[in-house]
A and B are shown apart, each in its own frame.
Chain A
């Protein structure tokens, strides 16, 4: 199903990419592109190779076969999982934001221009006035936003996020999704991994279904179908439609779903 036309707007291209840890192949013969202006989600079960594929795109994992090519001078902004860092580390929000400009300045002090830019960035993502807070004092959703702000401070062409809604509550998930949608509307390309089919993946314009190899590539309506999902998760799954969007249910044998009726008072 990977029949997307090749264009010159490609930011990242994976060409017959395979990655392995020793003899264990975790990504096999993956070919797909991310073009400028796209919003792409890589979905699949735990251990399906999503994070490894992302790491290969970011240059952190070495391909066993094939290659990853990026557009010349493309800037990638990486947002790792929130759990990946020590939130007790002794830094303030502002210091985290300006970290990605480490290459541009040698001396330690944050310049007035950097401070102004960082505060503008915090305003943009709804964290205005929190620059002098210690990062531990933020909520889970605010911490995720700080990571996104740090990546945006790098002026990326492509924002790459690893499981941005893992371990967060429903409200935070909505905040993150809306923020990413806003950024996409502003012209930022987005590539993310998620295993959250209903909460996140179903809302994205394009999904790449990965289980070691690409099972399907297309819009949620095209790929969130029982046949693809069974191949992706190795178990029968059902798809309902709600508000014009697919809603995925796992195996419901023996469960009778009845419409809710108002209780008699």
Chain B
């Protein structure tokens, strides 16, 4: 490798915003990859998509009221997630309809606030499309705390989470508190979306929750292996995407998702019949 090329590759690391953005993106990619395993195996992909839209409402309200983003949007997201779970569990509406009602209403409230109070427009755009420019130390701390929390919850609750994901009815009869597991996952998902949204953006975050885990599913039939491989793919995609975005002068969020989607496509075609059969099992994606 020539010195000029190496210098070019390392050039963005001279900027603090890029270093901060890369750290948050890589940790966010790993975190989304980890929770994404549960998202795809539980058929919750649409929930991830919907929750990110719901959190947008909270982010808009927080910005307009000059309220702390993490507290305002976080509470909004957690309440939305729990509400979706409750509506879906009553079985009057299907989970997809419950998500459609709660999250689009939340998104609409965010848009209405945006229109009414235009001065919040800039920060709202960052929430919608993501921005590495606005990443601060607080964002790094937040994503690190949520990641540690997620790892802790999954290690301690591994068996309960596995059982309630595979066979919730029998898990319930066997003494596993399935509803507690559901709420725990929804809260973790909301917190993940909350702390990663500023880099990835509302509109693309669900892709980072789904693609690394779906790619991993084609590579292995072991649940425990998925739990470390999916974060590795998510983090690698985020790292590559950040660097490519800088050198091609494109959106970091978009490039991260493009890198992950390219990996998915490559694995899909390279993994042969077995991998395709596994991915076919994810028909609910």
Contacts and interface: CB of A to CB of B under 8 A. Distances in A.
B173 A59 contact: yes
Interface string B78-112: 00000000000000000000000000000000000
Interface stretch (B17-25, B153-161, B182-190, B240-248): B153-161
B41 A108 contact: no
Contacts of A100: 163, 170, 174
Interface in A69-105: 76, 78, 80, 84-86, 88-92, 95-96, 99-103, 105
Given A78-B173, A80-B169, A99 B226 contact: no
A13 to B, nearest CB: 18
B258 interface: no
A154 interface: yes
B220 A107 contact: no
B173 A96 contact: no
Given A86-B281, A102-B176, A154-B174, A108 B163 contact: no
Contact of B41 (A58, A89, A96, A103): A89
B170 A91 contact: no
Interface of B: 41, 155-160, 162-163, 165-167, 169-176, 217, 220-226, 277-278, 281
A108 B225 CA distance: 12
A15 interface: no
B222 A102 contact: no
Contacts, number: 84
A90 B222 contact: yes
A71 B41 CA distance: 36
A106 B169 CA distance: 20
Given A80-B167, A84-B167, A90 B175 contact: no
A102 B278 CA distance: 26
A150 interface: yes
A225 to B, nearest CB: 34
Nearest to B227: A108
A60 interface: yes
A90 B172 contact: no
B282 to A, nearest CB: 8
Interface SS of B by simple majority: helix
B166 A96 contact: yes
Most buried by B among A58, A60, A108: A108
B221 A150 contact: no
A99 B174 contact: yes
A36 interface: no
Given A88-B278, A88-B281, A90-B217, A60 B172 contact: yes
Contact of B162 (A85, A91, A107, A154): A91
A108 B173 contact: no
20 contacts: A60-B173, A80-B167, A80-B169, A80-B170, A86-B281, A88-B281, A89-B41, A90-B221, A90-B223, A90-B278, A91-B166, A92-B222, A95-B162, A95-B223, A100-B174, A102-B162, A106-B157, A106-B158, A108-B158, A136-B221
Nearest to B172: A60
Contacts of B174: 78, 99-100, 102-103, 154
B158 A107 contact: yes
A174 interface: no
B220 A76 contact: no
Contact of A107 (B155, B171, B281): B155
A16 interface: no
Nearest to B173: A78
A10 interface: no
A134 B221 contact: yes
Contacts of A86: 166, 281
Contacts of B158: 106-108
Given A91-B162, A99-B159, A103-B174, A84 B217 contact: no
Contacts of B163: 99-100, 102
A134 B157 CA distance: 23
- Give 3 nearest A-B pairs by CB, closest first: A88-B281, A108-B158, A102-B159
Nearest to A89: B166
B276 to A, nearest CB: 12
Contact of A108 (B159, B220, B277): B159
Interface in A45-83: 58-60, 76, 78, 80
A76 B176 contact: no
A78 B157 CA distance: 22
A85 B173 contact: no
Contact of B226 (A85, A88, A90, A96): A90
B76 to A, nearest CB: 31
B260 to A, nearest CB: 20
A45 B175 CA distance: 31
A84 B169 contact: yes
Most buried by A among B222, B225, B277: B222
A192 to B, nearest CB: 15
A121 to B, nearest CB: 15
